[in-house]
Amino acid sequence: MTRADNTGWDRRRKRRPIPPLDSFGPQGAAKTRLCDHPGCTHEGLYRAPKSRDLREYYWFCLEHVQAYNKAWNYYDGLNETDIETMIRRATVWDRPTWPLGDRCAGVAERMHDPFTVFGPEGMAGEGPGQDSPRPRHREDGPRARAMRVMDLDEPLTLSALKTRYKTLVKRYHPDANGGDRDAEERFKMVTEAYHVLRAALGA
């Protein structure tokens, strides 16, 4: 025999006893809901909204709920402006909104920037939407040196690189310059720069 306290907890078995099924739900016979359509005696299994607030419902049989839903218009009685307002509010889940940036007025003046992270003029130095030009490569790196040797500008494309390489090879090739040592050195620099830039482009 097991010991159970007044909550029905069996200490040795570590679980509550399963209550009989008839203890759940209403006592006695289940109540059936009739269709709300006048004169209908069928069971009302399907609900349909009474108004736009969707808090109260009619209960209809299948035949009458189909007829009611076909005739019911959620936007009935609203003009176009009201409908547009409802749609706009629904896109933000009926939460309050305000124009972007209005609540941040004066932040640039209040921002303390001792390390000039935002530049010498701070956040007030650049207007909205402006971006300071940033080099896409280091000024002293191998790609930058190769760009200077090839006399190319960003943005670099493979076709522009090949066209420029062919032009410089024809100009500095040793055979075209009668064996000139300066032209030969320049030819080596152009070839090396070409290979660096091809590798940078992933070609």
pLDDT at 64: 96
Contact 59, 45 (CB under 8 A): yes
pLDDT at 153: 86
Each of the 203 residues of the chain gets a pLDDT tens digit; together they read: 455 556 655 566 666 666 666 555 555 555 789 999 999 999 999 999 999 888 899 999 999 999 999 999 998 899 999 999 999 888 888 888 877 776 676 776 667 777 777 777 666 655 444 455 555 545 678 888 899 988 888 888 899 999 999 999 888 888 888 878 888 889 899 999 999 999 988 87
Q: What whole-number distance in Å separates Cα of residue 104 and Cα of residue 24?
A: 57
Q: What whole-number distance in Å separates Cα of residue 107 and Cα of residue 110?
A: 5
Contact 89, 101 (CB under 8 A): no
pLDDT at 139: 65
pLDDT at 172: 87
Q: What whole-number distance in Å separates Cα of residue 128 and Cα of residue 53?
A: 42
Domain limits of the chain?
33-71, 79-124, 142-201
User: Coil, helix or strand for 43?
Assistant: strand
Phi-psi region of 105 (alpha: psi -120 to 50; beta: other; left: phi over 0): beta
The alpha carbon of residue 33 and the mean position of all alpha carbons in its chain are separated, in whole angstroms, by 46
User: Coil, helix or strand for 47?
Assistant: strand
Q: Where are the alpha helices (DSSP H) in the chain?
A: 62-71, 80-91, 107-110, 142-150, 158-172, 181-201
Whether CATH 1.20.1250.20 fits 142-201: no
The pTM of this model reads 0.36
DSSP 41: -
- What's the burial of 126, exposed, middle or buried (CB within 10 Å: 0-12/13-18/19+)? middle
